[in-house]
């Protein structure tokens, strides 16, 4: 996670844990597996992972590339500390608190840079892309994913609809930000300004999973900064909203063993 505001919002006492426990399998694990396979195809020796969160991509990279050196970074210390606890094999991993817009690494150091659902939070995407370009070796690859539009990710759109129902005057809008960076023309233009060429974007569909609709609803509302917004507006409403969201999820995907369709954009760029 990579803005100061978002970092602070993700740092509540319970948010990182619930983010990992509930949102990890629901939103992130399938794409982490996909990302690690894409990184493996570049045959890297040194990998920089930006916005590593709770370490789901890190774990998959260790499985796919057990001999690679991984520098796993995040600007959020609470997330990074949880990742250190979750990732069992630390032999080839270095952990650092890092801002993507000011990377503390030398020029042309990494073979591959990967970012899972973090680019959307950059305060200055072009500056961050320039930094990635600087620390990437010639011939290296920059790979990141970002969510497709919210309307194509129904599980999130349900949250938006509920927020508008319960708080019509000023609905909590956290999810608007991570679901705002999906237009290939804009992504390509910003990467080109950052120095990259040979840019490809592709739509990748996957399925997220949850053991039951209550867990999914809890993660969506308590495992992200939207939790703080709801609490500020009316903390007594939270159990009711969770219960209502759980019911809507159960209607769509079942009460138990949910399989939820997701869509994201995967972007690859080369440094020639």
Residue 6 has pLDDT above 90, yes or no: no
- Domain total in the chain: 1
Q: What is the pLDDT of residue 8?
A: 41
Indicate the angle between helix axes 226-234 and 213-222, nearest 10 degrees.
Answer: 80
Q: For residues 73 and 100, what is the distance between their CA atoms, to the nearest angstrom? A: 9
Residue 3 has pLDDT above 50, yes or no: no
Q: What is the pLDDT of residue 89?
A: 76
CATH number (domain holding residue 84): 3.40.50.150
Q: For residues 132 and 261, what is the distance between their CA atoms, to the nearest angstrom? A: 31
Could you read off the pLDDT of 213-233 as tens digits, one per residue? 999 999 999 999 999 999 999
Residue 9 has pLDDT above 70, yes or no: no
Arithmetic mean of pLDDT, 13-37: 95
Q: What is the pLDDT of residue 198?
A: 94
Name the residue with tokens 């079942």.
Answer: 254
267: which strand partners?
Answer: 144, 201
Arithmetic mean of pLDDT, 202-211: 98
Q: For residues 219 and 224, what is the distance between their CA atoms, to the nearest angstrom? A: 7
Contact indicator for 225, 15 with CB cutoff of 8 Å: yes
Q: What is the pLDDT of residue 14?
A: 81
Its domain, for residue 48, covers: 4-270
> Helix and strand tally (H, E) in the chain?
11, 7
For residues 106 and 10, the model is more confident at: 106
Q: For residues 89 and 2, what is the distance between their CA atoms, to the nearest angstrom? A: 25
pTM of the model as a whole: 0.94
DSSP run (H or E) holding 250: helix 238-253
Q: For residues 269 and 272, what is the distance between their CA atoms, to the nearest angstrom? A: 10
Helix-strand-coil percent breakdown of the chain, rounded to 5?
A: 50, 25, 25
Could you read off the pLDDT of 53-105 as tens digits, one per residue? 999 999 999 999 999 999 999 999 999 999 999 998 788 999 999 999 999 99
Q: For residues 193 and 253, what is the distance between their CA atoms, to the nearest angstrom? A: 42
Residue 5 has pLDDT above 50, yes or no: no
Q: What is the pLDDT of residue 13?
A: 57
Q: What is the pLDDT of residue 47?
A: 98
Q: For residues 246 and 62, what is the distance between their CA atoms, to the nearest angstrom? A: 34
Could you read off the pLDDT of 114-148 as tens digits, one per residue? 999 999 999 999 999 999 999 999 999 999 999 99
């Amino acid at each position: 996670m990579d803005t100061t505001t978002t970092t602070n919002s993700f740092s509540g006492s319970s948010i990182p844990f619930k983010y990992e426990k509930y949102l990890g399998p629901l939103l992130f694990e399938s794409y982490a597996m996909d990302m690690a396979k894409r990184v493996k195809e570049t045959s890297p020796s040194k990998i920089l992972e930006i916005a590593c969160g709770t370490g789901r991509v890190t774990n998959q990279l260790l499985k796919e590339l057990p001999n690679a050196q991984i520098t796993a970074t995040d600007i959020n210390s609470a997330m990074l500390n949880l990742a250190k606890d979750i990732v069992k094999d630390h032999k080839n991993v270095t952990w650092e608190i890092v801002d993507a817009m000011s990377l503390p690494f030398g020029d042309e150091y990494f073979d591959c840079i990967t970012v899972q659902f973090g680019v959307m939070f950059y305060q200055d995407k072009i500056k961050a892309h320039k930094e990635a370009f600087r620390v990437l070796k010639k011939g290296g690859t920059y790979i990141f994913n970002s969510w497709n539009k919210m309307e194509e990710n129904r599980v999130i759109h349900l949250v938006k609809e509920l927020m508008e129902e319960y708080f019509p005057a000023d609905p909590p809008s956290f999810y608007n930000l991570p679901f705002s960076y999906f237009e290939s023309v804009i992504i390509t233009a910003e990467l080109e300004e950052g120095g990259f060429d040979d840019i490809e974007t592709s739509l990748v569909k996957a399925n997220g999973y949850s053991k039951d609709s209550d867990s999914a609803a809890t993660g969506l509302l308590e495992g992200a900064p939207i939790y703080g917004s709801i609490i500020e507006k009316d903390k007594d409403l939270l159990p009711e909203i969770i219960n209502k969201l759980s019911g809507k999820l159960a209607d769509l995907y079942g009460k138990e063993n949910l399989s939820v369709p997701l869509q994201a954009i995967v972007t690859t760029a080369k440094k020639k």
